[in-house]
Each structure stands twice: as structure tokens, then as C-alpha cells.
């Protein structure tokens, strides 16, 4: 079997089947992907992991020759550069961690490698996962493979671009306020932010721990479910893991929810509005009761997210002084002020602004802003739970518009409105390409399988 035949088919269940069957080697698939990664013109990768990839591919081929079948045999994997990988630098796209090499693997990554995935590189991102365009990396911008003049989204820009360009079969991103779903949507891909506590966060460099999640980015809904089914499961290293969730069905059945709410915020482009309306019409014509719905506390949700995530980031990033993993002249460090200057040089403008917001939220009027945000988050969660007593799934846009030029809408205050609810409440949400845009579905906590079924139905009927 030729490598071209494998690349043309491109589905991960097909690739793993032919690799497990000995029709093509994981090494051959790996070398082709590495060559493509090294020629990538979109800025998808910070580090291409040739040595580690070939070693992993050879282990897969050896296991297969010994009669062992692997569920993800030979599947090429790109990994966001805030997910720890033993012996491979993990920079978070920041000067502060430019030379940081972890001594351990993130649990989710470790499980994918054990299942037969081959890691071809660490992907570009907005610094410390703070951004939405892929333009805030110490290592340069990431462009959209569908149109290099447009953004790939953020912060998981390189993870989406690597899969969209078909360099890697799948990728891992992280999602704190839409950072995986948004770039997937702008690059015509699928990304699922599962119920908080389903996937271990051990080894994910923290931005806002109460909201962070590791998420797969794939071409199809079925592939996405396959990846999460391998990553999920108890992990004693992450105390936020939930043990009461049904396991993911790796081959979701295409099924419609009984009742759906439809939410379209103001300011969406015509293409996005058309996609959501067409999707809701499809569900309605197929027997689902669809009616307009409102998300709770819309005027506050993004502000609540910004306040809470910035406070958590302030705590998480306090450990980075720029003196160990950045190329700094430590002989110049003579007092506190010079140490602060080096720390200040480590972080980009966006990170500094978020840290300043976090400091302000904790200091103004005895942390009144932070306490108010905590209370509002609880209110949003309670009202969202009530919404899901009425509707099985909420359908809404992933983004307010399709991809755009760098900086065109960067300062738009409510651009993340649809995305942050899943992170504030811990609910699962999935972005799916549909009708020339991206549609997002959100369900109650624990209803990940129902969400995959609805997403599969939408995908199967996309024309």
C-alpha cells in the first residue's frame, strides 16, 4: 500500500487498521508527516520532534510485529506546547519557558502514545494560552491553512493549523475560554471541550485551573470521540477528576435530541446566522422541538470569565521569574528591581495585561470585584442547569464570524460570549463545521455522549 493512498483516505480508524494489518508501517507514515511539518509555511509548530516520532513509530511497528493491536496505531499527533512532554521542550510560546524541558508526560498525552499515536511536534499557540488569533507567540504567528491571510484562531492556533493542513491526523489543544473550539471552528475542524473532570489536567501548564481542559482537534466527530475515549479515565494525579461519568462511546450514533434551544447573539455575520438557522431547521424537520433560548447573564458572562481567569492566571504564573529557562544574564541580577525587570521581559503585552487585571480584581475595594465574579459564576451555573432541565442541547454559533484578517476584530468585547459558558459551568461543548461556518452544541454536565450523537447527526447531514 502506498503512502499516498493512506494520506488520501486520512481517517484515523482507516490508518490504524492498515497499520495494525501490516499493510503500511507507522515509520513510513511518520516520516511523511515529519517532512511535511518541517516544510510547513503556516507557523504551526514550535518544535518538530523527529527523533521522538521515529522512536515512537518504531515501537508501534515492533508491537504489531509481536501480534499486539493498538487502537491508534500510527496516528500522527501534534501537541499544543503547553502540554508537558518528557524530554521535549514545552515553551507555552513564551520567552519565560523557551528552554524548559519537562521530566514527565501529561497523562492525556501519555495515554495516546500508549495507544499507538506518534508525536510529530509541539504546536504554536498564543503565549500561555492567552489570546484568540494565534498572533501572540514568542515564536511568530500562525496562519490559517485554508487561507494564509486569515487567522487560525487561538490560543490553540498551531494545533488547529497542523490538522487543517493534514500534517498531523489529530492534535491536542487546551480550552480555558474557547481556546480549542474557536480555532477548530475557524479551520473547519471538530473540537470537544468535555465535561470538566473527564480528562486529566495533569501535565497541562495551568492558565485558570478551574476552567482549563485538554481537548482533541480532529476532522470528524467520530475521530474526536475515539481520542477522548482513550484519554479519559481516573488519574490520582489530578484531584479534579470525576468518577461518576459514563465512558465515552468511541463510535457515536447519529441521533437528534428531543428538545433544543437555539441561541444567536447580536453581531454575528450573515454566514454564521445562516449556518445556525439551517442546523436548527435540520433538527426541527427531523423531529426535534427547537425554540429560541437565552443564555443566562449575557451582559456579565465575559466579564466574569475575564476576572476569574485573570486572578487564577496571576497565581499560576507567579512561579515564572525568567531566570532559569530564559536566556538571561543572571550576573545583572543585583537586587529586586533588576529581577523584576527580567521577569517583565519574559511576558508579552497580553499576558501582562491579564496579570494586571487579576491583581486589580484582588486589590480594589478588598477584592470586591473578584468576590462578585465568584457569586455571578455560581448564578450562571445554577441558571444554566435550569436551562438544561428544559432543553437537552443548546445550539449556537461557535464564533460570531468566519475567519478574518489579523487584528480586524481583536478588541471586540463579546467575541467569546458563546464560548465561555462551557468553561464557567463545566459543561461539555463541541464545535462542528456546518454550512460553511461552525456550529457549537452545548449540553449539561455529564451529557457528553448525547452531545456527540447530536454532533454526529449534524455532521452526517452537512451539505
**152-166, 280-294, 406-420: least confident range:** 406-420
Residues 192 and 131 in one domain: yes
pLDDT band at residue 331 using 50, 70 and 90 as cut-offs: low
Q: Do both 26 and 11 map to the same domain?
A: yes
Q: What integer pLDDT is reported at residue 329 of this predicted model?
A: 54
Q: Does residue 333 have a pLDDT over 60?
A: no
pLDDT reported for residue 108: 98
| 310: annotated active-site residue | no
Give the CATH number, domain containing residue 406.
3.40.190
Q: In total, how many domains does the chain have?
A: 3
Marked catalytic residue, from 132, 155, 174, 288: 155
Q: Given 347, 370, 393, which residue is the final one in a domain?
A: 370
**pLDDT, position 346:** 87
Whether residue 155 lies in the annotated active site: yes
Q: Does 348 fall in a domain?
A: yes
Quick one: average pLDDT of 397-401? 96
In angstroms, the Cα distances linking 360 to 307, 314, 324, 370 are 9, 10, 28, 9
Say if residue 325's pLDDT is above 90: no
Same domain, 267 and 166: no
- Annotated catalytic residue within 135, 156, 171, 179: 179
Closest by alpha carbon to 217, among 255, 167, 155, 162?
Answer: 162
CB neighbours of residue 434 within 10 Å: 24
E strands, 243-392, where? 259-262, 289-292
Please tell me the total number of residues recorded for the chain in this structure.
Answer: 463
pLDDT level of residue 332 (50, 70, 90 thresholds): low
Q: How confident is the model at residue 330 (pLDDT cuts 50, 70, 90)?
A: low
Final residue in a domain of this structure, among 231, 251, 283? 231
pLDDT of residue 344: 77
Give the chain's largest Cα–Cα span.
Answer: 71
Q: Of residues 80, 122, 193, 456, which has the active-site annotation? A: 80
Please tell me whether residues 196 and 316 are part of one structural domain. no
The answer, yes or no, to whether residue 259 has pLDDT greater than 80, is: yes
Please tell me the predicted confidence (pLDDT) of residue 230. 98
Are residues 169 and 280 both part of a single domain? no
Q: Are residues 213 and 337 in the same domain?
A: no
What is the reported pLDDT for 365? 87
403: left (phi > 0), else alpha (psi -120 to 50), else beta? beta
pLDDT at 463: 80
Q: What pLDDT does 324 receive?
A: 75
- How far is 194 from 457, CA to CA, in rounded Å? 18
Q: Do residues 137 and 143 make contact, with C-beta atoms less than 8 angstroms apart? A: no
The pLDDT assigned to 91 comes to: 97
Beta strands in 249-391 (DSSP E): 259-262, 289-292
38 occurs within a structural domain: yes
With cut-offs at 50, 70 and 90, classify the pLDDT of residue 364: confident
Residue 280 has pLDDT above 70, yes or no: yes
Which residue from 96, 90, 103 is spatially nearest to 319, judged by alpha carbons?
96
Residue 217 shares a structural domain with residue 354: no
Output the nine-digit C-alpha cell for 19. Answer: 497499520
The grid cell for 356 is: 494586571
Residue 71 is assigned to a structural domain of this protein: yes
- The yes-or-no verdict on residue 338 having pLDDT over 60 is no
Alpha helices in 187-269 (DSSP H): 221-231
Where among 343, 370, 397 does a domain terminate? 370
Q: Which of 188, 170, 129, 441 is nearest to 309 (CA)?
A: 129
**pLDDT at position 212 over 80:** yes
Residues 360 and 220 in one domain: no
Residue 179 is a catalytic residue: yes
pLDDT exceeds cutoff 90 at 328? no
- Distance CA(244)–CA(267), nearest Å, equals 39
- For residues 254-281, b (16+ Cβ closer than 10 Å) or e, as one string? bebbeebbbbbbeebeeebbebbebbbe
Percent of the chain with pLDDT over 90: 89
Summarised one tens digit per residue, pLDDT across range 421-438 is 999 999 999 999 999 999
- Same domain assignment for residues 288 and 326: no
Determine the pLDDT at residue 3. Answer: 66
Q: Are residues 174 and 316 in the same domain?
A: no
Mean pLDDT, range 49-62, rounded to an integer: 98
CATH number at residue 33: 3.90.1300.10
As a whole number, the mean pLDDT across the chain is: 94
Is the domain of 119 the same as that of 227? yes
pLDDT in tens, 126-148: 999 999 999 999 999 999 999 99
- The pLDDT, as a whole number, for residue 102 is 97
Full residue range of the structural domain in which residue 416 is found: 259-299+376-460
Is 408 or 377 the better-scoring residue by pLDDT?
377
Q: 129 and 226 share a domain?
A: yes
Amino acid at each position: 500500500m502506498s503512502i499516498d493512498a493512506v494520506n488520501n483516505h486520512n481517517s484515523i480508524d482507516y490508518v490504524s487498521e492498515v497499520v495494525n494489518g501490516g499493510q503500511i508501517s507507522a515509520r513510513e507514515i511518520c516520516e511523511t508527516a515529519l517532512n511535511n511539518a518541517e516544510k510547513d509555511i503556516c507557523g504551526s509548530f514550535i518544535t518538530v520532534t523527529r527523533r521522538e516520532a521515529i522512536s515512537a513509530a518504531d515501537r508501534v511497528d515492533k508491537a504489531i510485529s509481536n501480534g499486539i493491536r493498538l487502537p491508534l496505531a500510527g496516528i500522527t499527533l501534534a501537541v499544543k506546547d503547553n502540554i508537558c512532554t518528557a524530554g521535549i521542550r514545552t515553551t507555552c510560546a513564551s520567552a519565560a519557558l523557551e528552554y524548559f524541558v519537562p521530566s514527565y508526560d501529561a497523562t492525556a498525552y501519555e495515554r495516546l502514545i500508549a495507544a499507538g499515536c506518534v508525536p510529530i511536534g509541539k504546536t504554536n499557540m498564543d503565549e500561555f494560552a492567552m489570546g484568540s488569533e494565534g498572533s501572540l507567540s514568542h515564536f511568530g504567528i500562525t496562519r490559517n491553512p485554508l487561507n494564509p491571510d486569515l487567522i487560525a484562531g487561538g490560543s490553540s492556533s498551531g494545533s488547529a493549523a497542523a490538522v487543517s493542513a493534514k500534517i498531523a491526523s489529530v492534535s491536542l489543544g487546551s480550552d480555558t475560554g474557547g481556546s480549542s473550539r474557536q480555532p477548530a471552528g475557524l479551520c473547519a475542524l471538530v473540537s470537544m471541550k468535555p465535561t470538566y473532570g473527564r480528562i486529566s489536567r495533569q501535565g497541562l501548564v495551568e492558565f485558570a485551573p478551574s476552567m482549563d481542559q485538554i481537548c482533541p482537534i480532529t476532522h470528524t466527530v467520530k475521530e474526536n470521540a475515539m481520542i477522548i475515549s482513550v484519554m479519559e479515565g481516573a488519574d490520582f494525579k489530578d484531584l479534579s477528576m470525576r468518577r461518576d461519568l459514563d465512558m465515552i462511546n468511541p463510535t457515536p450514533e447519529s441521533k437528534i435530541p428531543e428538545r433544543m434551544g437555539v441561541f444567536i447573539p447580536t453581531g454575528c455575520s450573515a454566514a454564521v446566522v445562516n449556518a445556525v438557522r439551517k442546523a436548527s431547521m435540520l433538527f426541527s424537520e427531523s423531529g426535534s422541538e427547537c425554540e429560541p433560548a437565552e443564555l443566562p447573564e449575557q451582559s456579565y458572562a465575559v466579564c466574569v470569565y475575564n476576572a476569574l481567569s485573570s486572578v487564577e492566571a496571576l497565581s499560576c504564573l507567579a512561579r515564572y521569574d525568567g531566570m532559569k529557562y530564559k536566556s538571561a544574564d543572571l550576573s545583572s541580577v543585583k537586587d529586586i528591581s533588576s529581577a523584576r525587570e527580567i521577569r517583565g521581559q519574559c511576558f508579552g503585552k497580553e499576558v501582562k495585561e491579564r496579570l494586571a487585571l487579576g491583581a486589580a480584581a484582588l486589590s480594589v475595594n478588598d477584592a470586591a470585584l473578584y468576590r462578585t465574579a465568584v457569586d455571578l459564576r455560581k448564578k450562571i451555573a445554577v441558571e444554566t442547569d435550569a436551562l438544561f432541565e428544559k432543553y437537552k442541547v443548546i445550539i449556537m454559533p461557535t464564533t460570531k464570524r468566519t475567519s478574518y484578517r489579523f487584528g480586524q476584530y481583536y478588541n471586540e468585547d463579546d467575541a467569546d460570549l458563546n464560548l465561555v459558558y462551557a468553561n464557567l459551568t463545566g459543561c461539555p461543548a463541541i464545535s462542528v463545521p456546518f454550512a460553511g461556518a461552525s456550529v457549537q452544541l452545548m449540553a449539561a454536565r455529564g451529557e457528553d455522549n448525547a452531545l456527540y450523537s447530536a454532533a454526529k447527526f449534524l455532521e452526517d447531514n452537512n451539505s
